[in-house]
Amino acid sequence: MAEILEPGILKGVASTTVNKLLKSGFTTVESIAVTPAREIAEMAGMGRDTALKVCRLARMHVDPGFVPALEILDMRKSMIKCTTGSGEFDRILGGGVETGAITELIGEFGSGKTQICFTLSVTAQLPVEEGGFGGNVCVIDTESTFMPERIMQIAEERGMDPTKVLERILIARAYNSEHQIILVNSLPELVEKSGIKLVVVDSMIGHFRGEYIGRGNLSERQQKLGACLSKLMRVAEAFNIAVVITNQVMATPDTMYGDPNKPTGGHVMAHSCTHRVYLRKGRQNTRLARVIDSPSLPEEKIRFALTAAGIEDAEE
Ligand code: GTP
Ligand code: MG
C-alpha cells in the first residue's frame, strides 16, 4: 500500500528535493504526509515553502481531503480488531482494540494499564483468524516498567513461543518528553519497515506531567502533548495500525459525590483519543473497566481479572 518515495512521484517536485528527503530518512510518501512541513524543512534542510509544497502533495496521495462517506465505510472495513485476552473487555470495545484509532487506558496505579499493554503486545501477534493483528509490536516505555519475563509468561500461558514473541516486540525507553516526541516522530518509517500493527505508549503523559510544572508551563505542555498525540493519530490512520496509550488519574478535591479521580491531560488528551477506557481496582485480582467518551461504543462497566495469562475474564 505504501508508495516508495522516488523522483517523479510527487508531480512538480525537483529530483534534488526528493533526494534531500531520501537522505534525511523519508522513504515513503506516507512518511512525508504524516510529518509537519516545519519539521520536514528542518530535517531535510530545505526552505519552508518547498517543504509545504512537498507536504501538501504527499498528503494528496494519502489523504484526498473530502471523501464520500462510502469511502470511509470502505476504510472502516479494512479496520481489524485485536483481542485483549478478556471476552468481556473485547465486548465493551466493540470486538477488541481497533486499528486506525487511539485507545486510551486510564487508571490509578495498579489498575492494570501496563498488564493490558503486555497482554496486547502478545495477542497482537496472533494471526487475524485467531483474534490478533498478525503483526509486530512497538512499545514506547516511559516508566521503565516493560518486563520481558512477564511477556514470556503471558505468551507461554497462551501457548505461544515466548522467545519468538519477544523477538517481535521492539522496545524503546523514552528518557524524557523530548525523547518521547522523537521516538513518536520516527514511527512512520519504523511501522513501515518492521511490519508493526500495534504501537503502545506507556505512559503517554508521565514525562510531560513531571517536566512541565506549574500553571505558567501548562499551555506549552498541552501544545507539545497535543502535537505528539496528533502524530500518533495520523500514523494510526495512514498505516491502519492500532495505537494504545496509558494515562494517569488526578484527585480532584472538590468532588462531592462519586469517584474523585479524573483523567490527566485535560481536553487535549480527551479529544485526541478515539476510545477512552477507565479502569478501577476491584476485589483481589479483579479490575473494573468502563468505556467513556467513545463515538461508537455505549458506556458499560465490566469486570476482568489479572492472571498469569495477562488479563482474562473474571470468574463469576
Ligand atoms: P501504574 O503504572 O503504577 O500507574 O499502574 P498500572 O495501572 O500500570 O498497573 P499494572 O498494570 O502494573 O498492574 C499491577 C497489578 O498487576 C498488581 O496488582 C499486580 O499484582 C498485578 N500483576 C502483575 N504481574 C502479575 C502476574 O504475573 N500475575 C498476576 N496474577 N498479577 C500480576
Ligand atoms: Mg503501569
209 Cα to the center of ligand 1, angstroms: 22
Measured CA to CA, the distance from residue 63 to residue 58 in angstroms comes to 8
Question: CA 156, CA 150: separation in Å to the nearest integer?
Answer: 10
Please tell me the pTM assigned to this model.
Answer: 0.84
Residue 112 alpha carbon, nearest atom of ligand 1: 11
Going from the N-terminus, what domains does the chain have, and what CATH number goes with each? 15-62 (1.10.150.20), 76-313 (3.40.50.300)
Residue nearest atom 27 in ligand 1 by C-alpha distance: 308
Could you tell which of 113, 114, 115 is best to mutate to test the pocket of ligand 1, judged by most ligand atoms within 8 Å of the CB? 115
CA of 68 to the centre of ligand 1 (A): 44
In this prediction, residue 1 carries a pLDDT of 56
For residue 266, the model assigns a pLDDT of: 92
pLDDT of 299 reads: 85
pLDDT value of residue 238: 78
Spacing, Cα 168 to ligand 1 middle (Å): 22
Q: What is the pLDDT of residue 196?
A: 96
Q: Is the CB of 285 under 6 A from ligand 1?
A: yes
Closest-CA residue, ligand 1 atom 10, reads 112
**Cβ of residue 112 lying under 6 Å from some atom of ligand 1:** yes
- The ranges of the chain with pLDDT < 70 are 1, 63-67, 71
Grid coordinates given for 99: 486499528
Q: What is the dihedral of CA 221, 227, 232, 237, to 10 degrees?
A: 150
Predicted confidence (pLDDT) per residue in 96-117, tens digit: 999 999 999 999 999 999 999 9
